[in-house]
């Protein structure tokens, strides 16, 4: 493979050797897992780039374009999508430092709307929610999230997740094998 | 719907009234079409954001982050993906000013590899190729592209497209109904 983010990957791999699992971000863990899935022909799932509104650019040399003024935009969809066993997969991944609940204000309303649309059209939509303090990561199907979205606290209690949603275990390779966990739910 | 790009959309709609079809970019045409598909529950297909490597940021005020130095990265996948009739859809859209052929150097090798992976996993991969001079737009399935990718000229002659690939007609609404054309091929 000759992917443009290859350099980034080898940096990430170096980090594994020196950091504990707490040191890695959820995003890095999922990206490593997706690279494993791709290399082993299990699934094709990528993180979408962060949407950025470019305002000004300059040209320090004839064939180089440098962005000199830009702003982050609110994403209109989720971070991850792709294909697994012929099925369209779509999910958002979030970390929380809370020990008691996952606050749903971490997910934008239109991201929930997007996931609802995906499920309506026959795709699979879910969240990966990581509790940093416990080093625990849950796979939470959209249906379960929707039960709490209209609730008074707009959050999912940790104990409800623990009782109802499967944990995605941290491994060495693949790092966070969420598709095996998904298999058990489908 | 309350999408963050709503403002952008109404600007784009205004442009339709004042510009000829040549004045609209292929990207704008496809984005409008995808908005139509979403609003009418036909499909959920989005353009991915352009990947940008952020180098420096500044904070002009406490809750505002401004990017002051960044560079465009080479995309590792295609521009568009989503779900249609339960199927994973993935494509790249390109314009050419050539009158005789579409140069395949316009598509990165890893984008072709990505489309091959998608088809291997049961998805639908294709290109939308627009010849600006003719105002003609073709839907070109990946299999057809692969016949030319190893060829001596690394390009697809216009006449081969005209003879073998369906044209996506320009309409008022939806602008460029590529999914109806896809239906005819599946």
Give the pLDDT of residue A152.
85
Contact between B177 and B171 under an 8 Å Cβ cutoff? The reply is yes
Give the pLDDT of residue B33.
98
The shortest CB-CB distance from A71 to any of B4, B67, B123 is to B67
Tell me, what DSSP letter sits at residue A135? T
Residue range A117-133: average pLDDT? 97
A·B CB contacts under 8 A: 127
A176 min Cα distance to partner chain B (Å)? 21
d(CA A162, CA A156): 10
Q: Strand, coil or helix: what is A174?
A: coil
Nearest-Cα residue of chain B relative to residue A39: B117
| Best CA proximity match to B128, nearest among B88, B96, B160 | B96
Q: Which domains, ranges and CATH numbers included, belong to chain A?
A: 19-49+75-185 (3.40.1350.10)
Helix residue spans in B43-108 (DSSP H):
none
**b or e along A24-34 (b: 16 or more beta carbons within 10 Å of the residue's beta carbon)?**
bebebbbbbbb
d(CA A137, CA A26): 9
A127 strand-pairing partners: A92, A140
Percent share of chain B, pLDDT over 70: 88
Residue range B54-64: average pLDDT? 91
pLDDT exceeds 70 at position B6: no
Least trusted range by pLDDT, from A43-52, B22-31, B67-76: B22-31
Give the pLDDT of residue A5.
44
Pairing relation of β-strands A87-96 and A124-131?
parallel
* B110/A3 CB distance under 8 A: yes
* A83/B118 CB distance under 8 A: yes
The shortest CB-CB distance from A110 to any of B4, B83, B117 is to B4
CA dihedral A111, A103, A31, A85 (to 10 degrees): -60
Q: Is the peptide bond before B174 cis (omega within 30 degrees of 0)?
A: yes
With vertex at residue B142, the alpha carbon angle to CA B175 and CA B179, rounded to the nearest 5 degrees, is 25
Contact between B23 and B15 under an 8 Å Cβ cutoff? The reply is yes
Give the pLDDT of residue B63.
82
pLDDT exceeds 80 at position B96: yes
Contact between A5 and A11 under an 8 Å Cβ cutoff? The reply is no
Nearest-Cα residue of chain A relative to residue B59: A71
Percent share of chain B, pLDDT over 90: 80
d(CA B154, CA B159): 15
Query: Please, what sign has the CA dihedral across residues A17, A171, A164, A83?
Result: positive
pLDDT exceeds 70 at position A20: no
Residue range A56-63: average pLDDT? 90
d(CA B103, CA B149): 10
Residues of A in contact with B77 (CB under 8 A): 46
Q: Kindly give, in sequence order, each residue whose CB lies less than 8 Å from that of residue B151, ignoring residues fewer than 6 positions away.
A: none
To the nearest 10 degrees (0 to 180), the angle between helices B142-149 and B109-120 is 140
DSSP string, B119-166: HHTT-EEEEEEEETTTTEEEEEEHHHHHHHHTSSS-EEEHHHHHHHS-
Neighbours of B40 (CB within 10 A): 10
- Tell me how many helices (H) and strands (E) chain B has: 6, 9
Nearest-Cα residue of chain B relative to residue A54: B67
Residues of B in contact with A123 (CB under 8 A): 44, 83, 86
* A1/B113 CB distance under 8 A: yes
The shortest CB-CB distance from B86 to any of A2, A46, A121 is to A121
Give the pLDDT of residue B23.
52
Give the pLDDT of residue A3.
43
Distances from the Cα of A103 to the Cαs of A98, A126, B184, in angstroms? Answer: 8, 16, 46
Residue range A1-17: average pLDDT? 41
Kind plus residue range of the DSSP H or E element containing B114 = helix B109-120
- Residue A95: pLDDT band with limits 50, 70, 90: very high
* A65/B72 CB distance under 8 A: yes
pLDDT exceeds 80 at position B4: no
How many Cα atoms within 13 Å fall on the side-chain side of residue B143? 8
Tell which of B5, B49, B122 to mutate to test the A interface (max A CBs under 10 Å). Answer: B49
How many Cα atoms within 13 Å fall on the side-chain side of residue B40? 10
């Amino acid at each position: 493979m000759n992917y443009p983010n290859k350099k980034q990957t080898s940096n990430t791999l170096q980090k594994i050797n020196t950091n504990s699992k707490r040191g890695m971000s959820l995003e890095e863990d999922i990206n490593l897992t997706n690279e494993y899935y791709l290399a082993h022909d299990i699934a094709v799932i990528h993180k979408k780039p962060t949407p950025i509104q470019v305002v000004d650019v300059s040209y320090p040399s004839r064939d180089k374009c440098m962005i000199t003024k830009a702003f982050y935009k609110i994403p209109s969809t989720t971070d991850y999508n792709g294909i697994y066993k012929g099925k369209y997969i779509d999910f958002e991944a979030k970390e929380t430092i809370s020990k008691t609940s996952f606050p749903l204000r971490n997910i934008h309303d239109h991201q929930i709307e997007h996931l609802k649309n995906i499920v309506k059209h026959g795709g699979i939509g879910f969240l990966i929610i990581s509790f940093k303090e416990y080093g625990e990561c849950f796979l939470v199907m959209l249906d379960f999230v929707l039960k709490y979205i209209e609730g008074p606290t707009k959050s999912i209690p940790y104990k409800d997740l623990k009782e109802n949603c499967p944990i995605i275990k941290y491994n060495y390779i693949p790092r966070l094998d969420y598709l095996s966990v998904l298999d058990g739910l489908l």
